[in-house]
Chains A and B, each alone.
Chain A
Amino acid sequence: MGKVVPLSGNSAVAYAVKSADVDVISAYPITPQTTIVEKLAEFIANGELDAEMIHVESEHSALSAAVGAAAAGARVYTASSSQGIALMYEIMFIASSLRLPIVMTIATRALSAPINIWNDHSDFMAVSDTGWIMMMAENNQEAHDDIILAYKIAENPEVLLPVVTALDGYFMTHTTEPINVIEREEALSFAPKRKTWFTLDPDKPVTMGALGDPQWYFEFKKQQYEAMKKSREVIERSIDEFARVFGRRYNAVEFYGDENPEVVLVAMGHVVGNIRAYLNKMRSKNSRVGVLKVKLYRPFPEDLIVRYLEDVEIIGVVDRALIPGSSSPGPLHSEIVTALRKHEVNTKTLSFVTGLGGRPVTHEHIGVMLSKLSELKDKPVSELPREPLFIGVRE
């Protein structure tokens, strides 16, 4: 086991990328991600990491260069936030469709306008349909570990899909925590570098990115769908192996709270930790409440979600992104409602939208959400609000 050192979330991520021994880093600075690639540039300059750092003129080019490098067989890393992720949008589809195992960190941040450099999940949710595996950490140790886990999953020959690992901007990226650093040998023994995908090789030429007309395109989309589906098993196996090797377990979905809960908050990212703390504080009141943390967002672990929620009276889904006009403007709520409906589970749901643009989700807010759920848990579905409840907005 490596040593424990105090690291900011971004440094924790950079140390893991170093241990993963990446060959190419292609990045463009953007708050709050910048210090990840800054730290990596420092590692390269100090001779601690033997990698090519490609400086580009935009995030569109950052991911394009990452695609090219991965196509050439390199282990590739990039990171971005907010507007940068939005600019990568086009290339994100290409990376996943070409089946290149790139790992990218999203230091989550709100999207403009108005200009806002603070944290919410707008950027993460906006790219959830691009065919990438997506996971979000709750604390800095998890953000560190996710990098190693991500390469293991991405490069698995049964998967070969790019992976997003996310951590909350500022609340995590710029907050220091003690980190048990995974050393290079440990990382490479867990996630060895193997060229498991088709690469550009003059001795064995292939064509990548060719036209796929109506006679061909559909088949490749079906392949992608199957690979994403298959990745669930690989992710579970990798989580198990990670827990065995490193002693830290990050389930796709994790429940914390009363053994037999009737009220559950569902959340992602650092807010989960805040809800855990709130529940610990309130435990003496003997209430049957809990929090369900969703770590894995793509593929959405609907089987586990259903298993945890089927016997719960009412859940409140905490969304930190907003899709105006959607039948459920909270994207996580939308996923969960679909999962419950598909499995004919009648758990009542409320949608909470909160913490947009960096507004903290405080214990007071958590208290408001839980009281609302307790108040409504015995009401018939017809009397539940159909609109999301905005928690912490000034009316």
Chain B
Amino acid sequence: MSSRLPSWKELPIGAVILEPGSSRRYKTPEWRTSRPVINQDKCIRCRICWSYCPEPAIIEADKPYVTSANKRYEISYLIDYDYCKGCGICAQECPVKAIEMVPEVR
């Protein structure tokens, strides 16, 4: 968010938004009371968190990862903390409990 928001005189009337796709700029980290943290070692890359995330704020990244048991994955699931609202659905749905909701401390 910019430091100074527009006054009522500067805004288009009727709360109309003139710029398409401007919601990309609307970031919601303040909405979270806790943040999902993925344990990459436990994660089995099933994609369930990715498909359940309502935002979607889970990114399927082409980022190889080798677990401590020496298993190699070609992808990693990452959280986009700009848009994650901390709803916890991913942690709830994860079949191997690889996602932990960690309280936000500010």
A-side residues, CB < 8 A to B, are 97-100, 160, 197-198, 205-210, 212, 215-216, 218-220, 222-223, 226-227
Contact = CB atoms under 8 A, between A and B. Distances in A.
A223 B13 CA distance: 7
The 8 A-B residue pairs with the shortest CB-CB distance, nearest first, are A99-B14, A207-B17, A219-B8, A222-B8, A198-B16, A220-B15, A98-B14, A205-B20
B51 interface: no
Nearest to A157: B13
Given A99-B14, A208-B14, A220-B8, 7 more contacts: A98-B15, A160-B14, A197-B13, A198-B16, A209-B15, A216-B11, A219-B8
Nearest to B20: A205
A274 to B, nearest CB: 41
Q: Interface majority SS on B: helix, strand, loop or mixed?
A: loop
B14 A100 contact: yes
A322 B23 CA distance: 46
B11 A223 contact: yes
A160 B13 contact: yes
A205 B13 CA distance: 15
Contacts of B13: 99, 160, 197-198, 220, 223, 227
Contacts of B11: 216, 219-220, 223
Contacts of B14: 97-100, 160, 197-198, 208, 220
A220 B8 CA distance: 6
A222 B6 CA distance: 13
Nearest to A216: B15
Contact of B7 (A100, A212, A219): A219
B96 interface: no
A212 B20 contact: no
Nearest to B13: A99
